[in-house]
Chain A
Amino acid sequence: MINLQPDDLNRGESLPHYYGVDRLVVLPRDPYCLYTYWEVSLPTRESLKNEWGEAAWQGARLQLRVHKHDWNREEIVESFFDVTLETETDNWYLPALDSDRVYHTELGWRLPDGDFKPVLRSNAVRTPRDGLSDIIDEEWQLPDWKARRLFRRISLYHLSSPELFRRRKQRQ
């Protein structure tokens, strides 16, 4: 093939494997399986080592705690189980879960004294339903298709971004 433009638009760079951030993300794969990936940054690892002591850090096992929420009252955790992982693992599939349930996970370490120390908490996701819904309430509505309203998201114009960031930080 003739290369018309041989220069490298990627500037010879490649993707890093890690980004130096603390992150635990859960994604749904199907009604019975979730995928989760994570990254624990070096500074976080260092501070954990300092907090727990070298011996506890060395003997600690990486674990994923999988929380299943109540079907009806999603804010309540109904049960959980732990998965023990090899130290260098950075992603995992969680099979054999229940369909139509909200889950979230925590990544942490099981210390030699048996204590589980959660370090990161994931987003929550609901697994898909795998059958007809048991809810058979019927409510019908005539949609109003005449109103052709279109919205566009815009910044709150009267606030400068530094102000917004301050407000966000305060909320967190």
Chain B
Amino acid sequence: MAQGFLSLILHAHLPYVRHPEHQYSLEEKWLYEALTECYIPILIALEIMKNDGVNFRLTFSLSPTLLAMMEDPLLRERYARYLERLQNLARLEEERTAGDTDFAPLARLYREHFDAAAGYYHRFGGRLVNAFRSLAEENLIEVITSASTHAYLPLLQVQPESVYAQAANAVQYYTALFGEPPRGIWLPECAYYQGLENYLGELGVQYFITATHGVLYASPRPKYGVYSPILTPAGVAAFGRDPETSKQVWSSQEGYPGDYDYREFYRDIAYDLPLDYIGPHLHPPGMRSDSGIKYYRITRAGLAYKEPYRPEQAREKAAQHAGNFMFNREQQVKYLASIMGRPPIVVSPYDAELFGHWWFEGPQWLEYLCRKIAYDQGDVKMITPGEYLDLGYPLQLCTPNPSSWGDKGHNEVWLNGTNDWIYRHLHRAAEEMIGLATEHPAAEGLLKRALNQAARELFLAQSSDWPFIMSSGTMVEYAHRRITGHLVRFRVLSRQIRGGAIDEGWLKRLEETDNLYPHIDYRLFQSLETTVPREMSVV
């Protein structure tokens, strides 16, 4: 009998970076890299475990923008070609390094890696959503949703219509893809404000996840801290992040990914090899940017000298680290169970993009961890938040504390001197959208298309990614261009709608470019004062 539970949650998100106007877009490459290095390797590891009969449980939050990109025919087509180029490059590398005891095995490793990714991808016809869906149907994973464009909800709270629309469209989109509504929602950046739960409850959402101090500092004081979910007055449960497990994986000093035997991320062949050789295989061709093929290990932090990567040594470390992680969880749940009198749940959310991209061995670590927990001990059991709720423990009624998992634990990353100017514009556009949606409760034809497109442009402008990028200081110009672009398009649409002069040709081009959520319903933005919640039938 397990003494406690571990809930690993992988949050997978990328902003909507579809750029049909460019043959090669650096931003689209974020998606291609994440697919090749993170999502597909993780899915392959899960499939192997499934076939081996390993009883594991993971939770995936798949952001609606990521799902929309995974489903997009143009991006699927482009990704298939991207993978082909990578496979070709890896074959060339095998030839180039032939006979080299250090590098030939590594070139082969990458070739096999890319071939496996391509094989898996094509087996699902490029529809990775179906891969997730089939694992969910086997009850091995639980998939939850997030806000439609990963909006930072506390900074939109002055217009609850925005918050409602962000959540409602996400729930609808998820339901269309997965055949049933999501049980949980990942609040972008774990960002919570008081009152948010009311809209989630209306949408049938049963739980969300907060930063540690979201639950720990809830009121009344939660008896079990973050080791049991709390129940908000709206009837939606909140799970708090366990601080111990996040540090073990995340911390740049103490975290596993910094181990010297692991692969070095910053040493890519794209920068080491002559441009006339490597150039044609890069994305875009001729421009030095990461290829994903990296032959060195971290060796020692801060040292320019790097030793060749030794995959077996790294694999051994991944297994050790998984064992260490499991051992610590055993101690943790035994101790917590002894003082709590009920099985604790340790909730460990991570960015999925950490696994495989930055931390090359991350998917291996994950697989080792799942296997070890299944076979090597009996104190800890993996569980999803939904399954935990099904156990039927009474939950303490508390209101979470406003918080996020960003630097300093609150809103500063998304609200500081580099990005605060955006809120004036975002709020103004939302006000306009609410007005338009409320004034047109039953638009048809061209008007309806224009209103739906206005909702898409506003959603895209609301992504938390743009203020985050502005804070981080890299790619700032891109974030500026995106947010102002969507807001300008929104403004022109709004003017055309109000003036009764919709430019259909231009609207069509917008629909083709900013094309996410084909079944979007602009009425989700209707004023909350003039709408009432009505029960919907569940698909």
**Chain A interface (Cβ within 8 Å of chain B)?**
1-7, 9-11, 13-15, 19, 21, 25, 27-31, 35, 37, 39, 91, 123, 125-126, 128-145, 148-156, 159, 161, 164-165, 168
Contacts and interface: CB of A to CB of B under 8 A. Distances in A.
Given A151-B534, A152-B534, A156-B531, 19 more contacts: A4-B23, A9-B506, A15-B425, A25-B423, A27-B157, A30-B412, A35-B420, A129-B401, A134-B221, A136-B220, A139-B220, A139-B396, A141-B395, A142-B392, A143-B389, A145-B390, A148-B181, A151-B203, A151-B536
A156 B530 contact: yes
Contact of B410 (A128, A131, A155): A128
Given A136-B221, A149-B204, A14 B412 contact: no
Contacts of B23: 1-2, 4
* The 5 nearest A-B residue pairs measured at CB: A133-B219, A150-B204, A151-B533, A30-B410, A5-B21
A155 B509 contact: no
B535 A151 contact: yes
A25 B231 CA distance: 31
A47 to B, nearest CB: 22
Contact of B538 (A136, A140, A150): A150
Contacts of B487: 15
Interface string B74-113: 0000000000000000000000000000000000000000
Contacts of B284: 1
Interface string B222-254: 010000000100010100000000000000000
Contacts of B440: 161
Given A135-B220, A143-B237, A37 B423 contact: yes
B509 A164 contact: no
* Interface secondary structure of B, over-half rule: mixed
A1 B24 CA distance: 7
Contacts, number: 200
Given A15-B484, A150-B181, A155-B441, A37 B217 contact: no
Contacts of A14: 484, 488
Contacts of A143: 206, 231, 235, 237, 389, 395
Contact of B523 (A7, A19, A149, A155): A155
Given A4-B22, A128-B402, A150-B203, A155 B217 contact: no
Contact of A140 (B157, B397, B409, B438): B397
Contacts of B484: 10, 14-15
B352 interface: no
Contact of A123 (B158, B171, B489): B158
B411 interface: yes
Nearest to B22: A1
Contact of A133 (B218, B235, B390): B218
A1 to B, nearest CB: 5
Contact of B531 (A30, A139, A155): A155
Given A3-B22, A132-B216, A141 B394 contact: yes
Contacts of A145: 206, 389-390
Nearest to A134: B221
A3 B19 CA distance: 10
B526 A126 contact: no
B439 interface: yes
B491 interface: yes
A138 B220 contact: yes
B475 interface: no
A133 to B, nearest CB: 4
A120 B171 CA distance: 37
B535 A155 contact: no
B22 A37 contact: no
B536 A150 contact: yes
Contacts of B203: 150-151
B407 to A, nearest CB: 11
A13 B488 contact: yes
A137 B396 CA distance: 10
A20 to B, nearest CB: 10
B424 A39 contact: yes
Interface string B279-305: 000001000000000000000000000
Contacts of B24: 1-2
A91 B489 CA distance: 25
B73 to A, nearest CB: 16
A30 B530 CA distance: 32
B186 to A, nearest CB: 18
Contacts of B1: none
Nearest to B202: A151
A13 B491 contact: yes
B438 A161 contact: yes
27 contacts: A1-B25, A4-B21, A5-B21, A6-B21, A7-B509, A9-B510, A11-B492, A15-B487, A25-B424, A28-B193, A30-B412, A35-B420, A133-B218, A136-B220, A138-B223, A139-B397, A145-B206, A145-B390, A148-B538, A150-B203, A151-B203, A151-B533, A151-B535, A153-B164, A154-B531, A156-B532, A161-B438
Contacts of B403: 128
A13 B392 CA distance: 56
Contacts of B491: 13, 15
A126 B392 CA distance: 33
Contacts of B194: 126
Nearest to A130: B217
Nearest to B521: A152
A68 B373 CA distance: 51
Interface in B420-449: 420-421, 423-425, 427-428, 438-441
Nearest to B284: A1
B415 interface: yes
A139 B408 CA distance: 31
A126 B203 CA distance: 25
A136 B485 CA distance: 49
B20 A154 contact: no
Interface in B494-513: 506, 509-510, 513
Given A4-B20, A129-B217, A28 B411 contact: yes
B154 A28 contact: yes
Nearest to A2: B23
A57 to B, nearest CB: 25
Nearest to A27: B155
A104 B215 CA distance: 26
